[in-house]
Amino acid sequence: MGSIKVSGLGKAYKRYASPWARLREWLSPLKRTFHEKHWVLKDVNFEIGAGESVGIAGVNGAGKSTLLKLITGTSVATEGEVSVVGRVAALLELGMGFHPDFTGRQNAYMSGQLLGLSVDEISGLMPHIESFAEIGEYIDHPVRTYSSGMQVRLAFSVATALRPDILIIDEALSVGDAYFQHKSFARIREFREKGTTLLIVSHNRAAIQSICDRAILINNGSVEKSGEPELVMDYYHALMSEKQGKLIRQTTLSDGSVQTVSGSGEVGFRSVELLSEAGIPTERINVGELVSLRLEIDVLQAVPSLVVGFMVKDSFGQIIYGVNTDRLDRKLEKLDEGERVSVTYKFPANLGKGNFSISLALTRSDSHLDKTYEWRDRAIVFSVRNTKKEDFVGLAWFGVEADVSRDLAGQ
Amino acid sequence: MIKMMNSILDRARVIKAYRGFIIGSVKREFDAKYRNSLLGSVWSIITPLSTIVIYVVIFTNLMKARLVGVDNSFAYGIYICAGVLTWGMFSEVITRCQNVFLANANMLKKLSFPRVCLPVIVVSSSLVNLGIVLCLFLVFLVLSGSWPGWPLLGLFPLLFIQLLMSVSLGVALGVVNVFFRDVTQLTGVLLQFWFWFTPIVYPLTILPDFVRDLVLLNPMTPLVNGYQTIFVYGEWPVWSELNVPIAFSLILSIFCVKLYQAHGGEMVDEL
């Protein structure tokens, strides 16, 4: 249960020179048109199978929200088809079309009825909705007195009171506070495990990577990339920081993972190496080992400034640590053509067991959104073993010492 | 024809499936109307009651207005009430339907539900309003000894035709209103003209001949005339007079459906 098929989907908004032009078109007996079509989505094709979780990424205005509106049926497609099988619960933008003058409880009933539930069924679910939303006595206050966070809490609680076959969420969760985000993600994960198909729009890379099996990147109204969340998000990231239209290159590494390289190319990496404590290039290190990351950089064209940065990511692509030369007070300025720069970062690999990757960036300033000379995702992939430290769980090693005392005097 | 029947049946099924939402919305509407008021739903009785009292008292006692050929001293008050109360529903349905998509823009943009529910909610809540008013009016008729008897049942076909006409016109205006916001103003003006162009507060007989011929072309005239026949004279309406309003309502409803089919999909883009 719960599949979505989108084929040849397109949506165009009509633009009229003036309201009179629309009137002329309506009254035109020969069906002449007086509008220009402004395409927001064009020829979008994808399929989402039952139980799959898919994230949709894209810059603002790429057409993500329009796509969701077409899938949920609130908006009508100009061309192509959407077919949805299963019961859908959707959280589009803020709220669920709540009526500001009604209380939270009344709105919950109304939304429930719109999901096809009877009053009795909703009454049965109400305690769950209230306890999940945690908005206390506000449930009996008009929704106009709610904060945006409270509206999201209530909307999410109502929409997910019953497990839907398909859950569609548009950014909504980014409004809630950290606590509720955490709680709602737990519920989404639970639904996913029970077989709900998920479709999530988010700018939050971590959200998409941690919950989705697949990501779809929408750019300029069509599917630009679809596949592994990390791969797509790397590509998206490269696209975002590099809007000047420079080339993006993705290559498959020997271990099957994909490396994304992008940038304007004034400065580039000549070599990158991860060295063990003994100074030997390595892909396997021990917990707590003092490693060095050695980067050799060529300046191909004179640039006013250079910031060299790196990030360590876990296997889900979540960033564990990242820093750059700017933040470490090693500023590089006025670099000439043909210059070579070498940067070595030394740090103890206080990481837990597992696979990690290092992403590298050469940028003009601290913000990679300014100008990126080269961005290299998954430049180095390495694994961490634990042969010397105590057995522990988690992504990081803390070097904890335990101080335990017992007091037998009481006996 | 079969296709049309099927689509009507489809709609009926949808309405049945969403009856919970429709009934709930009507209840919530009443709730919202009297929220934060001390007397609450008592107002839903006081307001129409005052209408009836004013018309009856002013026209019967103060102006001593009489209807030619009717013995009852309350006749003129009843005559006015018969028209005003039903016209009230007519204008309520049109006014609310022409705004129904704009007023529910928030919901239309965010939720997917059958839009046919919206006019159904408007009609249901105005039927409830009319029900309250009519009950009060009937009580008055009993008390004043003017109970019309069986012809009262003639109200149902009249109201049905009136509803079809007002919903079709209202929804058609509602669709247009999404694209051209002039409709709200236009509707107000139109309804005002229409009210005075219908023999509600005056009898048809006082009009000069050429005006009367015009007023008889008005599809609301036979309907209002029917209500007055029932309440004032206690007689059945003249069915053959209803051909014009029936034809007008059917044409309007087909026009409304066509208009919705042509532009309904675009509405959300404009809201």
Q: Could you tell me which of A403, A392, A310, A388 has the C-alpha nearest to residue A356?
A: A310
Q: What percent of chain A is predicted at pLDDT more than 90? A: 9
Q: Which range marks the domain in which residue A51 is found?
A: 3-233
Q: Are residues A213 and A185 in the same domain?
A: yes
In a domain, B265, yes or no: yes
Which residues between 17 and 46 in chain A have a beta carbon less than 8 angstroms from any beta carbon of chain B?
19, 22-23, 26
Task: Give residue A343's pLDDT.
Answer: 92
> Taking a C-beta distance cutoff of 8 angstroms, is the pair B80, B59 a contact?
yes
Task: Give residue B241's pLDDT.
Answer: 86
Q: How far is B117 from chain A (nearest CA, A)?
A: 10
Tokens 């098929």 locate to A5
Task: Give residue B160's pLDDT.
Answer: 94
pLDDT at A242 over 70: no
Q: Are residues A362 and A336 in the same domain?
A: yes
Interchain contact, A118 vs B20, CB within 8 Å:
yes
pLDDT at A27 over 60: yes
In a domain, A409, yes or no: no
Structural tokens at position A27: 């009254």
Interchain contact, B268 vs A110, CB within 8 Å:
no
> Where does the pLDDT of residue B254 fall: very low under 50, low under 70, confident under 90, or very high at 90 and above?
very high
Task: Give residue A176's pLDDT.
Answer: 64
In a domain, A25, yes or no: yes
Q: Are residues A251 and A203 in the same domain?
A: no
Q: Are residues A257 and A223 in the same domain?
A: no
**CATH number of the domain to which A188 belongs:** 3.40.50.300
In a domain, B80, yes or no: yes
In a domain, A293, yes or no: yes
Q: Is B110 on the interface with A (CB under 8 A)?
A: yes
pLDDT at A2 over 90: no
Give the torsion sign (CA, B73, B78, B84, B88).
Answer: positive
Q: Are residues A317 and A208 in the same domain?
A: no
Chain B residue with minimal CA distance to A117? Answer: B20
Q: Is B18 on the interface with A (CB under 8 A)?
A: yes
> What digits encode the pLDDT tens for the residues A28-81?
777 777 777 888 888 888 888 888 888 888 877 778 888 888 888 888 888 888
Q: How far is A99 from chain B (nearest CA, A)?
A: 8
Count the domains in chain A: 2
Please state, rounded to an integer, the average pLDDT across all residues of chain A: 83
In whole angstroms, give the CA distance from residue B195 to residue B91.
Answer: 9
B266 contacts on A by Cβ (under 8 Å): 14, 76
Q: Is A69 on the interface with B (CB under 8 A)?
A: yes
Last residue of a domain, one of A206, A233, A260: A233
Interchain contact, B28 vs A102, CB within 8 Å:
yes
Q: Are residues A257 and A112 in the same domain?
A: no
> Where does the pLDDT of residue A175 fall: very low under 50, low under 70, confident under 90, or very high at 90 and above?
low
In a domain, A406, yes or no: no
Q: Are residues A227 and A251 in the same domain?
A: no
Q: Are residues A199 and A269 in the same domain?
A: no
Q: For the ranges A106-110, A123-127, B63-67, B213-217, which has the lowest average pLDDT?
A: B63-67
**CATH number of the domain to which A325 belongs:** 2.70.50.60
pLDDT at A410 over 70: no
Selecting from A72, A93, A113 the residue whose C-beta is nearest the C-beta of B112 gives A72
Task: Summarize the confidence of residues B202-226 as an average pLDDT.
Answer: 88
Number of other CB atoms surrounding residue A103 within 10 Å: 19
Contact residues for B153 (Cβ-Cβ < 8 A; gap 6+): none
Q: Are residues A186 and A294 in the same domain?
A: no
> What digits encode the pLDDT tens for the residues B119-153?
999 999 999 989 988 998 899 888 888 888 888 89
pLDDT at A353 over 60: yes
Task: Give residue B252's pLDDT.
Answer: 93
Q: Is A164 on the interface with B (CB under 8 A)?
A: no
* Burial category of A386 from C-beta neighbours within 10 Å (exposed 0-12, middle 13-18, buried 19 and up): middle
Interchain contact, A106 vs B31, CB within 8 Å:
yes
Task: Give residue A96's pLDDT.
Answer: 61
What's the start-to-end Cα distance of chain A, in Å? 63
Contact residues for B260 (Cβ-Cβ < 8 A; gap 6+): B171, B172, B175
Q: What is the dihedral of CA A155, A159, A162, A163, to 10 degrees?
A: -130
Number of other CB atoms surrounding residue A193 within 10 Å: 9
In a domain, A397, yes or no: no
> What digits encode the pLDDT tens for the residues A99-128?
888 888 888 888 888 877 788 888 888 988
Task: Summarize the confidence of residues A268-294 as an average pLDDT.
Answer: 89
Selecting from A76, A90, A97 the residue whose C-beta is nearest the C-beta of B106 gives A97
Last residue of a domain, one of A233, A257, A272: A233
pLDDT at B62 over 80: no
Q: How far is A77 from chain B (nearest CA, A)?
A: 8
In whole angstroms, give the CA distance from residue A270 to residue A267.
Answer: 10
Q: For the ranges A237-241, A398-402, B165-169, which has the lowest average pLDDT?
A: A237-241
Task: Give residue B106's pLDDT.
Answer: 80
Q: Is A404 on the interface with B (CB under 8 A)?
A: no
Q: Is A114 on the interface with B (CB under 8 A)?
A: yes
In a domain, B11, yes or no: no
Task: Give residue B89's pLDDT.
Answer: 92
B27 contacts on A by Cβ (under 8 Å): none
In whole angstroms, give the CA distance from residue A173 to residue A211.
Answer: 13
Task: Give residue B97's pLDDT.
Answer: 93
Task: Give residue A322's pLDDT.
Answer: 92
> Where does the pLDDT of residue B80 fall: very low under 50, low under 70, confident under 90, or very high at 90 and above?
confident
Task: Give residue A254's pLDDT.
Answer: 63
In whole angstroms, give the CA distance from residue A52 to residue A54.
Answer: 6
> Where does the pLDDT of residue B221 fall: very low under 50, low under 70, confident under 90, or very high at 90 and above?
very high
In whole angstroms, give the CA distance from residue A348 to residue A336.
Answer: 33
Q: Is A3 on the interface with B (CB under 8 A)?
A: no
Which residues between 194 and 233 in chain B have a beta carbon less than 8 angstroms from any beta carbon of chain A?
none
pLDDT at B73 over 60: yes
Interchain contact, A97 vs B21, CB within 8 Å:
no
Q: Are residues A135 and A283 in the same domain?
A: no
In whole angstroms, give the CA distance from residue A231 to residue A219.
Answer: 15
A106 contacts on B by Cβ (under 8 Å): 28, 31
In a domain, B25, yes or no: no
Selecting from A110, A116, A117 the residue whose C-beta is nearest the C-beta of B28 gives A110
Q: Is B16 on the interface with A (CB under 8 A)?
A: no
Task: Give residue A172's pLDDT.
Answer: 59
Q: How many residue pairs from chains A and B have C-beta atoms closer than 8 A? A: 73
pLDDT at B182 over 60: yes
Task: Give residue A170's pLDDT.
Answer: 80
Q: Are residues A366 and A272 in the same domain?
A: yes
pLDDT at A364 over 60: yes
In a domain, A363, yes or no: yes
pLDDT at A94 over 60: no
Q: Is A127 on the interface with B (CB under 8 A)?
A: no
In a domain, A7, yes or no: yes
In a domain, B183, yes or no: yes
User: Which has the higher per-residue pLDDT, B184 or B14?
Assistant: B184
Last residue of a domain, one of A233, A267, A285: A233
Q: Which range marks the domain in which residue B121 is found?
A: 41-270
ipTM over 0.85: no
Task: Give residue A255's pLDDT.
Answer: 64
> Taking a C-beta distance cutoff of 8 angstroms, is the pair A226, A217 a contact?
yes
Q: How far is A88 from chain B (nearest CA, A)?
A: 10
Q: Are residues A201 and A62 in the same domain?
A: yes
> Where does the pLDDT of residue B57 fall: very low under 50, low under 70, confident under 90, or very high at 90 and above?
confident
pLDDT at B225 over 70: yes
> Where does the pLDDT of residue A134 fall: very low under 50, low under 70, confident under 90, or very high at 90 and above?
confident
> Where does the pLDDT of residue A376 fall: very low under 50, low under 70, confident under 90, or very high at 90 and above?
confident
pLDDT at B70 over 80: no
In a domain, B13, yes or no: no
Three-state DSSP state, B267? helix
In whole angstroms, give the CA distance from residue B169 to residue B122.
Answer: 13
DSSP states of A83-114 as a string?
Answer: EEES-EEEE-SSTTS--TTSBHHHHHHHHHHH
> Where does the pLDDT of residue A247 fall: very low under 50, low under 70, confident under 90, or very high at 90 and above?
low
Q: What is the DSSP letter of A45?
A: E
Count the domains in chain B: 1
- Strand pairing category for A372-385 and A258-262: antiparallel
Q: What is the DSSP letter of B241?
A: G
Interchain contact, A75 vs B268, CB within 8 Å:
yes
> Where does the pLDDT of residue B251 fall: very low under 50, low under 70, confident under 90, or very high at 90 and above?
very high
Q: What is the DSSP letter of B62?
A: I
